[in-house]
Amino acid sequence: MDEKVEMLEAKVRHMKEQNRTLRMMLETMSRKWQKLQLHVQEINNAQGCRQSFSTAQKPSRIFVKTHPNDNSVMVKDGYRWKKYGQKKTTKDNPSPRAYYKCALAPTCPVKKKVQISIQDKSIIVATYEGKHNHGFASRDLLKPSSSSTPEVSTIMNNDLPMTNMSNNINIDLCLWNRVTLCDDDKQHKDGGTHIKVQECVTSLLKDPNFIASFAEAVILSINTQNKQVGLNLSLGLPQPHFFK
DNA sequence: CGTTTTTGACCAGCGC
DNA sequence: GCGCTGGTCAAAAACG
């Protein structure tokens, strides 16, 4: 009988710890979300100024930092792309450049060029041209596929073109960094908690339903708070040293 | 077997 | 005109 009580108490303690961890993650994400909103406001203001000087449309360029283990040179931006060409080398960059067309709509004029950065080979440079003349990608495209590796990139972009979207938000969910930063002191006192945090986040990131639901919730939240804001969502994977 | 990717060929633009 | 480069096409290959 006592054993059962102890087991239950242990479970309760474990759940409390998990609860604390998740709350911490949520707070971290909330802080980041607030920062992003401020950033979006700044961009809005800046664009307002810029547009008064020039209305010329430049190709958009985004930079994607990839996980070292991820060999796929693919930017998961929610749209479906058809590859129609590749150049082995270009003048300014020896790495191959791939050419993509938007495959969501046959008449969509948007094209994308993808190439590994010459400065940092862990960065993929994607250049977008044109604007989508159709709706955003269906929600299933936001879900991580079972066959492919989970999204491992942190996207830093400017002006990713999307239909009827004037701004874009990028969410960096590299929770490991945040947890490490927030709990740096605690870690020394309580190393076990840190391991549990890792386990907890690992299990969450491995769950496609969680990722899809989270992406959906964030999109919903953004749409309700700022109807003109688009979203690029990338889910960060653990830092490599955790796998050591 | 249909879809997607790869890859060599082709074309246009640009500088010399 | 020639060579180089970037972009596109389309047949072949690979894949599910």
pLDDT digits (tens, 9 = 90+) for A117-164: 776 767 777 888 777 766 555 444 444 333 333 333 444 444 444 443
Within 13 Å and on the Cβ side, how many CA atoms surround A162? Answer: 21
CATH number of A59-139: 2.20.25.80
Question: A9 φ, ψ to 5°?
Answer: -65, -40
pLDDT of residue A66: 52
pLDDT of residue A88: 76
User: Which one is predicted more confidently, A48 or A128?
Assistant: A128
Judged against a pLDDT cut of 50, whether residue A116 lies above it is answered with: yes
Judged against a pLDDT cut of 70, whether residue A37 lies above it is answered with: no
Our CA dihedral for A151, A155, A158, A159, rounded to 10 degrees, sits at 10
Confidence of residue A214 (pLDDT cuts 50, 70, 90): low
Nucleotide nearest to A82 (CA to C1'): B4
Nucleotide nearest to A84 (CA to C1'): C8
pLDDT of residue A21: 76
pLDDT of residue A134: 65
User: What token pair was written down for A137?
Assistant: 């990608």
3-state class (DSSP) for residue A229: strand
pLDDT in tens, A159-196: 444 443 333 333 333 333 333 333 333 444 444 444 44
- Decide if A165 contacts A145 (C-beta within 8 A): no
Query: How far is the C-alpha of A40 from the C-alpha of A52, rounded, in Å?
Result: 18
DSSP A91: T
Percent of chain A topping pLDDT 70: 28
pLDDT of residue A10: 85
Give CA separation, A145 vs A10, A202, A206, in Å: 36, 17, 12
User: What token pair was written down for A121?
Assistant: 């080979």
Which residue lies nearest C10, CA-to-C1' measured? A84
Confidence of residue A115 (pLDDT cuts 50, 70, 90): confident
pLDDT of residue A154: 42
Q: Is the dihedral of CA A7, A11, A16, A18 positive or negative?
A: positive
Strand B nucleotides within 7 Å of a protein CB: 4-9
Strand C nucleotides within 7 Å of a protein CB: 4-10, 16
Query: How far is the C-alpha of A211 from the C-alpha of A143, rounded, in Å?
Result: 7
User: Rounded to 5 degrees, what angle do the CA atoms A236, A239, A243 make?
Assistant: 125
Average pLDDT over residues A31-41: 66
- Decide if A71 contacts A148 (C-beta within 8 A): no
Nucleotide nearest to A113 (CA to C1'): C7
Overall pTM > 0.85: no
Query: How far is the C-alpha of A178 from the C-alpha of A210, rounded, in Å?
Result: 19
Query: How far is the C-alpha of A151 from the C-alpha of A155, rounded, in Å?
Result: 11
How many CB atoms lie under 10 A from the CB of residue A229? 19
Confidence of residue A4 (pLDDT cuts 50, 70, 90): confident
CA of A219 to C1' of C10 (A): 39
Confidence of residue A52 (pLDDT cuts 50, 70, 90): very low
User: What token pair was written down for A141?
Assistant: 């495209």
